[in-house]
Amino acid sequence: MKKQELLAPAGDVEAGYAALYYGADAVYLGLSKFSARATATNFDADTLDEFTAYAHSLKRKVYVALNTVLQESELPDLIKSLDICTRCKVDGLIIQDLGVARVMREKYPWFEMHASTQMAVHNKEGALFLQKMGFKRVVLARELTAAEIKEIAAIPGLETEAFIHGALCYSYSGLCQFSALEYGRSANRGKCMYPCRAAFKCNGKESHLFSMKDMALKEDVLDMPVDSLKIEGRKKSALYVAAVTDYYRQILDGKGASPLKEENIKQIFSRPWCKFHFKGKDKAVIDRDFVGHRGLNIGTVEGVSRGKLRFMTNHAIARHDGLQIDAAGDEKPFGFSVQKLFVGNKSVFEAPAGATVEIELPHGYPRLERGDNIYLASSGAVKGAYHYTKPKPQEYRNNNDIEVTVKVESDRISAQSGEFAAEISGTFTPANNPQKSADAIKAAFAKTGDTTFNLRSLVIENPQNLFTPASMLNELRRDLYGRIKVEEPQGELPEIPSVGGKPAEPRFSIKVDDINYLNLLDLDKFAEIIYLINPHSDISALNKLPKNKIRIALPAVCRHPATYADIIRRLLDGGYRKWEVANYWALEILPLNQLDISFDSSLYMLNTQAMAMAAEIGASQVTLSLEDIKTNICNIIKKSNLKTSLIIYQDVPLFTSVGCIRDNDCKHCSGQPMWFDLERQGRTFKALSKDCQMMVFDDKPYCIATEAKDLAPDFFRMDFIYRQYDAQKVVDITNKLLQFNNVSDCIKGNFINNNI
């Protein structure tokens, strides 16, 4: 097995230098725009240039994450970012947006394309399709088991990358719309508000139903068959990056997992650790009781007396270290800095492991009970344990490769690089030592000094073996290098095919996951009927519907595509040629060249480059993003060369997750669908547990019929999926929507916002 890449995060340049010092084979980072960690410090062009030059001098790689979805007006800035990456010689780009993929494939083919985990690749089929699109590497969904990872990693010619340590999202990355639709801050645009960390009330009890523990595979990384092992943490400190990189470097180098280094990580930043679903589905991955950094468990409360906390510490502690205590009833652990420390009634600066200590508590401390866990959350010793070196400012930079030809004649010497040339006249006689003369020319032109040049090749034409004085060679070099003008990379957007005609009258489509919802509808009012299937759908019910209007829809998440093979085959054999896909796996298993394909909203069409890529893949229609704003939607509808569908009514899945919140273990689960009523700060939500998958919805539907009536998509779409309806309720709602009237008590997401 070839050496695996240890890939570390860098939210700023200090974290990047720390990662390289402690053994990262590669670093991933973001620029000021289009980074899924928009609130990290990130890198500007000059800093990126210095960092990549330094990393390359160490034979390490640098990947830039341009892994958000882009609106139409942002495409010119995308070109600027790609030009910066070109100039700074980055090794690859991590992307989510199909529009970015199209621009890179057509105008920047020298870059490696890495499919971000935001693309929600969770099966072999999805990875295979992205490979066909030109992606060299796929970053796998965090939710996968070891067996699933192994299957995808076995694809010939495709690199795979998987997370091994760090924070976890409750929802599949790329399929979370909670922050966007509820708070106007899109995770798909790097602005997540982390609603999964909030407390929700369920069945009268408030807890952190969706707050994930941290992933820590530890020595199980040795059983990870991927090409790149990824540490999460572009919002973490250089200290954290150093400690985690050092820990896994030691494991990968065959030295085992160091308990001391593990303790160090937990003192810097750590929620409780888990292996997520690497060894199979695990319900114990959610930390319901507390949220945020915990630290290293060093004991439990033995008592509190006269404002002093007493316990036996299992780890050395010192004054000014930070402690946290799990105080019942508090959302976050109670934290404070040790100001006074006592052992045996004697004031001490530090105490060893095994000592019974007393610590003076700060004013206003909460009620602490015997047995409450105590954590060392910050340690002065650890803060000083991870020194690292870095280059001097401007010591490294990415130079431009040049090729030079030097020609020596009896009356002149000349030098040329591309269209630029210089010469010096003189009288040149045969050299006593031709080899020394050639070496002098090489030495002179190798001196690039303060220029931005790197002499890639030097051709010497001196057939008479004439002698050239060093002073003249240096003068010639300075003259030539002063004339050379290196053009900055200036990319451009690929052309978009011409736009076809738009419908004169509004047309409507309806999507259901139960055919019975249509029983009372006048189907003449609908141009399309979209049916979301599952492996057990009764497709015989389709016979009562007009076949020319039916479009079959496949779901965004499908861990085992083979379960759909039989129903897809029967539908294809039955002549159903219109299909809707919500994830890349479906594009791999459908015969695209025989079908009319529509992209669902989870494939994020927010710009015309993405739409053009969809058309090149084989789509005839796209559904516009539920996260998008009206001004951008209006813009891309006018420019689109594909049919467009705008959802005006839907119960939107805010979370789509494998993290089950049922109060039972999987072994004793009934397997029947179960609904939960949730509340947070006066707002109500619904959660559905079905088929080992959780979906969370706002209690109110998304509805923008009134606000969208002046737009001109090819279809206004209304969805009746996931939540429970009956045929009469569907009639009542559709009657309003067909007249562009909103239902009462609805949410509008970002549609009328100015930005997301």
Length of the chain: 756
Of the candidates 235, 260, 241, 225, the one whose C-alpha atom is nearest the C-alpha of residue 24 is 241
d(CA 94, CA 260): 33
Domain boundaries, the chain: 5-167+214-257, 296-383, 401-483, 508-651+701-738
Query: Percent of the chain scored above 90 by pLDDT?
Result: 90
| Average pLDDT estimate for 40-44 | 88
More reliable by pLDDT, 535 or 754: 535
| pLDDT tens, position by position, 62-101 | 999 999 999 999 999 999 999 999 999 999 999 999 999 9
d(CA 467, CA 476): 15
| pLDDT tens, position by position, 243-276 | 999 999 999 999 999 999 999 999 999 999 999 9
Per-chain mean pLDDT for the chain: 95
Check pLDDT > 70 for residue 503.
no
Q: What is 5-167+214-257's CATH number?
A: 3.20.20.70
Check pLDDT > 70 for residue 500.
no
d(CA 514, CA 339): 64
CATH pick for 508-651+701-738 out of 1.20.120.420, 3.20.20.70, 3.40.50.2020, 3.90.700.10: 3.20.20.70
To the nearest 5 percent, what fractions of the chain are helix, strand and coil?
30, 25, 45
Identify whether the C-beta of residue 673 lies closer than 8 Å to the C-beta of residue 685: no
What's domain 296-383's architecture? Answer: Beta Barrel (2.40)
Task: Give the three-class secondary structure for 217.
Answer: coil
d(CA 200, CA 191): 21
What's residue 180's pLDDT?
96
Tokens linked to 35 = 């980074």
What's residue 41's pLDDT?
84
| pLDDT tens, position by position, 545-603 | 999 999 999 999 999 999 999 999 999 999 999 999 999 999 999 999 999 999 999 99
What's residue 444's pLDDT?
95
Check pLDDT > 90 for residue 497.
no
Identify whether the C-beta of residue 84 lies closer than 8 Å to the C-beta of residue 48: yes
| pLDDT tens, position by position, 665-701 | 777 888 899 999 999 999 999 999 999 999 999 999 9
- Domains 5-167+214-257 and 508-651+701-738 are alike in CATH topology: yes
Of the candidates 425, 559, 441, the one whose C-alpha atom is nearest the C-alpha of residue 141 is 559
